[in-house]
A = this chain, B = another copy of it.
Amino acid sequence: MKRVHIGDVAVRAGVSPTTVSHALSGRRPVSEATRERILQAVDELGYHPNLVAKSLRIQRTKSVGFLVVDISNPYYPTVVQAVHDGLADQGYVSLIGITYGEPAAEEMLLRDMVARNVDGIIIQPMSLTPAEIRRIVGPLPLVLISDHEGELYADRVQTNDCEGIAAAVRHLSDRGIREAGFISGPEGRSPGTLRLASFRAAAQALGVTVAEEWIDHVPFTRAGGLEAGRRLLALPNRPRAIICANDIIAVGLIDAAREAGLSLPDDLAVIGFDDIDTANLITPHLTTVVNPARDVGAACARALLRRIERGPDEAYTVDALPTHLVRRDSA
């Protein structure tokens, strides 16, 4: 019951391994008759080439590393699925790594992927800078899911969070709300930071007041949202509206609002970010900024494949995907 090698096929077809290889790859002509015999032998023996050996020889593995922050956040599975679908047709398989946003894990997983000779890497960096990542992976095709400003060290797929947030603030403003807070993600390189900055800018532009004590940083979890919500809602001069850096936090905030006996959207307006499936399942249905997860995943797959095909010399590309506000019942 041992695995069958190319040599076994060769013996059965009465030719050399070389000829079998040529017959299967078509890189050199093989007479119709022997090709026939070889294909039959392949069939009878159930031969499938050992891809590890093949990879070592041709220096490509038809695999890509995909480093995701936290797959328990429903936003990510959608991205993973889109990436998987985009790569699967081309015969690529994804090695997934979960970083939990920790620098040590991020670096370790990156090195491991490189050592495994993946053909490319997709990562949403949380702790490492693009420059650091590039240094670790060398010239490998690399796609960053990141809004990080500054020099380009890799192809980048980003979402135009700014316009979505602006639309959210405008929506509040249109409804006559002149004061708003913001619950962001962990401080540092998280997407929350940029969304917070966009929020500040939009609020200023529209003359919406934001007190410093209405701003909070918590992990991207429901518990984080609950905690921040309790804090903000207990304030003597609490804001009339709160925008959250993602939907999960918003869910926690709604928990806190319910605890406090507030009714949405009148006592408090809540706006989330991402538009995960759950968003229009909860009560009240969550008004949120649509983060096009499928498009992000598909764009990553496309960008990576293009980079793999075209080589490292072509200029890096940036693919900025639009976001927009979807109005439901929470604001």
The residues of A with any CB-CB pair to B shorter than 8 Å are: 1, 3, 48-53, 55-56, 61, 63, 71-72, 74, 76-78, 80-81, 84-85, 88, 93-98, 111-112, 114-117, 138-139, 251, 277-278, 281-283
List of 4 A-B pairs having minimum Cβ-Cβ separation, nearest first: A283-B283, A77-B77, A281-B282, A71-B77
Complex contact B50–A115 (CB within 8 A): yes
A170 to B53, CA, bound (A): 57
Complex partner residue of A63 from B3, B53, B55, B95, CB under 8 angstroms: B95
A94 to B281, CA, bound (A): 32
Complex partner residue of A139 from B1, B48, B53, CB under 8 angstroms: B1
Complex contact B93–A93 (CB within 8 A): no
Listed by A's residue number, 22 A-B pairs whose Cβ atoms lie within 8 Å are: A48-B114, A51-B115, A51-B117, A52-B56, A52-B61, A53-B56, A72-B77, A72-B81, A74-B74, A74-B77, A80-B96, A81-B98, A84-B96, A84-B97, A84-B98, A93-B112, A93-B116, A96-B96, A277-B278, A281-B282, A282-B283, A283-B283
Contacts of A282 in B (CB 8 A): 281-283
Complex contact A95–B98 (CB within 8 A): no
Closest to A80 in B: B71
Contacts of A72 in B (CB 8 A): 77-78, 81
Complex partner residue of A77 from B76, B115, B278, CB under 8 angstroms: B76
Contacts of A114 in B (CB 8 A): 48
A80 to B139, CA, bound (A): 30
Contacts of A85 in B (CB 8 A): 98
Closest to A117 in B: B52
A49 to B116, CA, bound (A): 9
Complex contact B84–A93 (CB within 8 A): no
Closest to A84 in B: B98
Closest to A93 in B: B95
Give the Cβ gap from A228 to chain B, nearest Cβ, in Å: 18
Complex contact A95–B97 (CB within 8 A): no
A71 to B88, CA, bound (A): 15
A50 to B115, CA, bound (A): 5
Complex partner residue of A115 from B49, B76, B95, CB under 8 angstroms: B49
Contacts of A98 in B (CB 8 A): 81, 84-85, 88
